[in-house]
Amino acid sequence: MSNVKLAVVFYSMGGTNYQLAKWAEEGAKAAGAEVKVLKVEELAPASVIEGNEAWKATVDATKDVPVVTSEDLEWADAIIFSVPTRFGNMPSQMKQFLDTQGGLWASGKTVNKVVSAMTSAQNPHGGQEATLLSLYTSMMHWGAIIATPGYTDPVTFGAGGNPYGTSVTVGQDGKMIEDVEAAVKHQAKRTVTVAEWVKKGNQ
């Protein structure tokens, strides 16, 4: 059986979700997957970004990361999304990307994609679970198969215990408070494993 193809699709303003995406890439590759790390297109004007040092630094750090396309989603057997929370929802940048996938959805090409998601916020109860659920709602419309980490490994508890997907609290200094690297890698491995089952069942 050919390796699972995984797209890790992120939006990051302060660098947190870019780091989560890179950990997911490491975890998925260790599980034998072929991985693409991709960003969604930035919608904020350059004038706003220039005034925020952390945001500008993230834009610079990710300048060579390809912008995700519909073709990337069609290529992928599995997708891991990583986004910060915006008032309990995904950011508009990710929503815009998902909203432009109507053609892919209408042609049945989102069906049985195995999906999972991760997020971050400045507070432990700052909308982290709601953000993941908002993203998963779109995935249900896609006919995708949602593979959450649940409590399938004790590392979930060390990362704050979110069964919907790894989430991390980011302090005012921009640094992650919980140690979530192991949880992200477990979630990536689990996503790849479920995608393997689905792929094997379709062959």
The number of distinct structural domains making up the chain is 1
Confidence band of 199 (pLDDT split at 50, 70, 90): very high
At 31, the amino acid letter reads A
Q: Extract the tokens encoding 13.
A: 């303003």
CA angle 40/22/199 to nearest 5° reads 80
Please determine, for residue 2, whether its predicted confidence score (pLDDT) is greater than 70.
Answer: no
Strand partners, 5: 34
pLDDT for residue 1: 46
The partner residues of 117 in beta bridges, in order of sequence, read 81
Domain containing residue 183: CATH number: 3.40.50.360
What domain range is 39 assigned to? 5-202
Q: Give pLDDT tens digits for 39-60.
A: 999 999 999 999 999 999 999 9
pTM for the whole thing? 0.96
Q: Is the pLDDT of residue 20 over 90?
A: yes
Question: What are the tens digits of pLDDT across the range 99-132?
Answer: 999 999 999 999 999 999 999 999 988 999 999 9
